[in-house]
Amino acid sequence: MSAPAVPAGLLRRTFRRRQARIGAVLTLVIVLIALLGPVLGPLLTGYGLDDFAGRPFRDDGIAGTDNLGRDVLTRFFAGGGPVLLYALAATAIGIVGGAVAGMLAGYSRGRLDSLIMRGGDVLLSFPQLVLALLAVAVLGSSGWLLVLVIGITHIPRVARVARQATLAVASQDYVLAARMYGVPRRRILTTEVLPNITGPLMVELGLRLTYSIGYVASLSFLGLGVQPPAADWGLQINENRIALSVAPWGVLLPVVAIAVLTVGTNMITDALAKESADTTGEVA
Amino acid sequence: MTATRAQTLTCTGLRVATTGGREVLHGVDYAVAPGEILALVGESGSGKTTAALAALGHFRTGLECTGGSIAFHGHTETHDDLLTLPAATLRGVRGRLVSYVPQDPALSLNPVLRIGTQVAEVLEAHAYDGDTAARVREVLGDVGLPTDEAFLRRYPHQLSGGQQQRVGIAAAFACRPDVVVLDEPTTGLDVTTQDLVLDTVRDLVTRSGTAALYITHDLAVVAGLADRVAVMQAGEVVETGTVEQVVDAPEHPYTRQLIAAAPDLHRAVEKDVVPTGDGAGAPLLRVSGAGKRYGAKTVLDGVDLELWPGECLMLLGESGSGKTTLARGLSGLLELDSGELSLNGEPLATPRTYAQLRSVQYVFQSPFASLNPRRTIASSLEVPLRHLTDLEPDARRARVLDMLGQVRLDSSFAARYPGALSGGERQRAAIARALVTAPDVLVCDEVTSALDVSVQAAILDLLAQVRRDLGTAMLFVTHNIALAREVADRIAVLQGGRIVEQGPVADMLADPQHAYTRELLEHTPSMRVAG
């Protein structure tokens, strides 16, 4: 054992793992496409977002044309932003809300526990997609409404995992010790409990992000999210699926991008979960 | 026991390394003859379990054998080298020719299998030719358990710890193996139960002519049980010999150190006499009529106790006697149902004031659970200061470093996480956390029971020094009466939630009044070799 300086932080140690680095590269590629695409796309392909590049479903240009004869690649470059933004926002709402609710329930037990968890059960009894459909049907289609609905429906699912992890930690002597020292509940939850349940929470983060991307894309696909003629990956898949065998790129490009993003983010969160399970503070 | 007899198991030049290439065993030799108990003694990390598990051809994940051989000559079969056997043959050897008794019976028995099924499983796995049911009864009878149908149909949780361990031993002996490996089988047990289990082992080994490998860190247990002893240190056997040679005339310095570390009731200990009892002024902490019930179960039943300034009171009791409940009640960790507590003559309020919280501090049993794995040591030590005192951040940091020095941890530990510390170092840090607010009373709840004997000695030494330097009064909760002479000024014996006897150490050890105290004294293992 080498003479220990201050051990590196959790993130720093996580990115010493190859898995996390590969994940970061994959994620970064998609994020860059989504961020820079709207600007670079027209320059690369020579077509604007709504320019008609030719007749529908022909292999004009690099990746062909879509159902209205617009350039597929240009629209692919422009369509990543909404998915990414909405999915991230929905995941953040779900994880933060779920962690808070779960830790409160698991640490307090008793009535608060029942209230939070049974309330969550009510939400859980609706399929997430159906709830989203319902909200859109009642309140009209808007991107941020989607984010809110998806985020809120994540909360009880994350809360279950957080509560279970909290139960295991809350009975440990170090939490008892903190109570003995008169540490207030809020501080116990943030400094004693939260750091010790990051493992399960990170796994949940990866999972929820994946689902969020899927839901946002699905709702756009169903015509309830982003509305045409805006460019969006989910929408793009829907518009071009009828010609999958003739002009496959219109479907494949967004599908591959979503897949790569999902795999990338999961590799990072996985590595993070593994690293937080190692409590020695040493290099693995 | 003679060395000339054919050995059942001969391990020569065993080398084991981690898959990363670090060697953990550097050429270990040992041999066991039929009917003989060889004790492998060493502290955690010395490689004793690795060396013994090799007899089963098993290496824990991350370890691999890099050299050496283990020859096996049983009643029915002979293998020149167990380590080179193919996996399928090895499976046939395990449990039938060489069997294993794990450390924690509560974890090693399957909670959803009945006792009868559990023992029969070993026999069925090795296609026992004979009446399985009859053999199960026979072997359960051998370990002194009931053999009626009702007992066979019980589940492990319906048994006491000692009974569970004897079921584990019965399963190990079921196939009449030639070698049994026992991995600290009495660690979690009370002294009286420990004595019973050790007698069972001794009896079975002698009667069936089995060779036994007994792994332990406690020389006192070995002295009464084993025929020969192999002392291991850092992956090497440093001394081997008959138990008389090793215990009475140890040659290696490490063996001497181990023997010195083992607590012994009969060894005279020099220490300063602290005035206690009525002559010492007013009691610091007084409990009267403390009671606590969990549902229908009464855990504490009218306990009266006094702690005088500067003294160390040993609260002695077996598991289930209510000693942890009492200790936690005194520290304010849980609320007692009845009874009055006073500190320095003032009643302790619920909830306690910060000053009261500060003056009674509690050290937890297991240093592996009492420190937050995500906090550095310094950060853990700072928690009580931040919440119970008004010190500025700079003063807090200085106090933390000063306290680490007091428990003999240098400042490099401040920035480390508990995971990078050994058990002894963690317990030091935990003690430092309890002392950091300069309490009047330190409640130590079984603080050494999760630690090796040699580490225990160092911790006791530390506590004694703390008492000398700081004058802190101490309530030392333990099940181990052997520590009495070294630690305590007075003893209070707790049984079934009542104090059955209390008095000064010397009087209590010389002339115990209560039957229960006498029983505890009788069963406590001592370094004197059994005749």
Name the minimum distance, in Å, from the CA of A10 to any CA of chain B: 10
For testing the chain B interface, which of A13, A171, A180 should be mutated: the one with the most B CBs within 10 Å? A180
- Identify all chain A residues contacting B372, using CB atoms and an 8 Å cutoff: 174, 178, 191-192, 195-196
Distances in Å between the Cα of A18 and the Cα atoms of A261, A268, A272, A282, B62 are 17, 10, 12, 17, 21
b/e burial code for range B418-429 (CB count within 10 A of at least 16 → b): bbbbebbbbbbb
Please answer yes or no on whether B374 and A1 come within 8 Å at the CB atom.
Answer: no
Mean pLDDT is highest, among A126-140, B341-355, B390-404, for B390-404
| Closest Cα in chain B, distance from residue A169 (Å) | 10
Q: Would an 8 Å CB–CB cutoff place A6 in contact with chain B?
A: yes
Of A183, A195, A279, Cβ closest to residue B383 = A183
Q: Is A196 on the interface with B (CB under 8 A)?
A: yes
Q: Band of the pLDDT at B230, cuts 50, 70, 90?
A: very high
**A to B CB pairs, distance under 8 Å:** 76
Give the residue among B187, B180, B220 at the shortest CA–CA distance from B201: B180
User: Which residue in chain B is spatially nearest to A179 when comparing CA positions?
Assistant: B333
Edge-to-edge order in the sheet of strand B23-32: B23-32, B9-18, B63-73, B78-79
Q: Which of B237, B320, B288 is nearest to B40 (CA)?
A: B237
3-state SS string over chain A?
CCCCCCCCCHHHHHCCCHHHHHHHHHHHHHHHHHHHHHHHHHHHHCCCCCCECCCCCCCCCCCCECCCCEEHHHHHHHCHHHHHHHHHHHHHHHHHHHHHHHHHHHHHCHHHHHHHHHHHHHHHCCCHHHHHHHHHHHHCCCHHHHHHHHHHHHHHHHHHHHHHHHHHHHCCHHHHHHHHCCCCHHHHHHHHHHHHCHHHHHHHHHHHHHHHHHHHHHHHHCCCCCCCCCCCHHHHHHHHHHHCCCCCHHHHHHHHHHHHHHHHHHHHHHHHHHHHHCCCCCCC
Q: Do A176 and B333 touch (CB under 8 A)?
A: yes
Measured between CB atoms, which of B332, B366, B415 is closest to A173?
Answer: B366
Binary contact (A281, B420; C-beta < 8 A): yes
For A183, which residue in chain B has the nearest alpha carbon? B387
- Contact: A177, B420; criterion CB under 8 Å: no
Cβ–Cβ of B387/A183 closer than 8 Å?
yes
* B134 close to A (CB below 8 A): no
* Cβ distance of B415 and A6 shorter than 8 Å: yes
Q: Which residues of A touch B366 (CB under 8 A)?
A: 173
Q: Is A277 on the interface with B (CB under 8 A)?
A: no
- pLDDT tens-digit readout, B149-158: 999 999 988 8
Q: What is the per-residue pLDDT for B1?
A: 40
pLDDT in tens, A245-261: 878 888 888 889 989 98
pLDDT band at B280 (very low <50, low <70, confident <90, very high): low
What integer best gives the mean pLDDT of chain A? 84
Judged by a CB distance cut-off of 8 A, whether residue A190 touches chain B is: no
Q: Using a pLDDT cut of 90, give the percent of chain A over it.
A: 25
- Cα B403 from Cα B277, distance rounded (Å): 30
* Residue from A263, A262, A245, A258 nearest A64 by CA: A245
| Among the partner residues A1, A180, A195, nearest to B357 by beta-carbon distance | A180
- B417–A contact, CB cutoff 8 A: yes
Contacts of A201 in chain B (CB under 8 A): none
Residues of chain B found within 8 Å of residue A281, distances taken between Cβ atoms:
416-417, 419-420
Query: Is the Cβ pair A281, B362 closer than 8 Å?
Result: no
Contacts of B378 in chain A (CB under 8 A): none
In 10 A of CB B188, how many CB atoms?
A: 19
Residue type (1 letter), A238: N
A182 touching B (Cβ < 8 Å):
yes
Dihedral, CA of residue A238, residue A240, residue A241 and residue A246, to nearest 10: 180
Confidence of residue B528 (pLDDT cuts 50, 70, 90): low
| CA of B374 vs chain A CAs: smallest distance (Å) | 6
How much is the pTM? 0.79
Instruction: Give the alpha-carbon dihedral of B358, B361, B367, B371, to 10 degrees.
Output: -20
By Cβ distance, the residue of B369, B370, B383 closest to A181 is B383
Residues of A in contact with B377 (CB under 8 A): none
Task: Report all structural domains of chain B as residue ranges with CATH numbers, in order of start.
Answer: 9-259 (3.40.50.300), 282-480+493-500 (3.40.50.300)
Model pLDDT for residues A97-109, shown as the tens digit of each residue? 999 999 999 998 8
Q: Which residues of B touch A1 (CB under 8 A)?
A: 420
Residue B270, pLDDT score: 61
Domain A85-227+234-277 has CATH 1.10.3720.10: yes
Burial of A75 (0-12, 13-18, 19+ CB in 10 A): buried
Q: Which residues contact B428 (CB under 8 A, 6 or more apart)?
A: B407, B408, B409, B459, B462
8 Å CB contact of B416 and A196: no
Q: In chain A, which residue's Cα lies nearest the Cα of B372?
A: A174
Q: CB distance B415–A7 less than 8 Å?
A: yes
Chain B touched by A280 (CB under 8 Å): yes
Confirm or reject contact between B364 and chain A (CB < 8 A). Answer: yes
pLDDT in tens, B114-123: 999 999 988 9
A3 touches chain B (CB under 8 A): yes
Per the listing, tokens 């003690």 go with: B431
C-alpha–C-alpha distance, residues B94 and A247, integer Å: 63
pLDDT at B264: 73
Bridge-based pairing state of the strands B179-183 and B98-101: parallel
**The pLDDT value given to residue B531:** 43
For tokens 């006073």, the residue is: B342
Please indicate if any CB of chain A lies within 8 Å of the CB of B373.
Answer: yes
Q: Distance between CA atoms of B431 and B461, rounded to whole angstroms?
A: 13
pLDDT in the model for residue B277: 54
Among B54, B3, B5, which residue's Cα sits nearest to residue B25? Answer: B54
Specify the DSSP class assigned to residue B247: H
| Residue B45, pLDDT score | 79
The percentage of chain B sitting over the pLDDT mark of 90, rounded to a whole number, equals 22
Q: Give the domain ranges of chain A.
A: 85-227+234-277
As a whole number of angstroms, the distance between CA A200 and CA A276 comes to 9
Q: B373 pLDDT exceeds 80?
A: yes
Cβ of B420 within 8 Å of Cβ of A282? The answer is yes
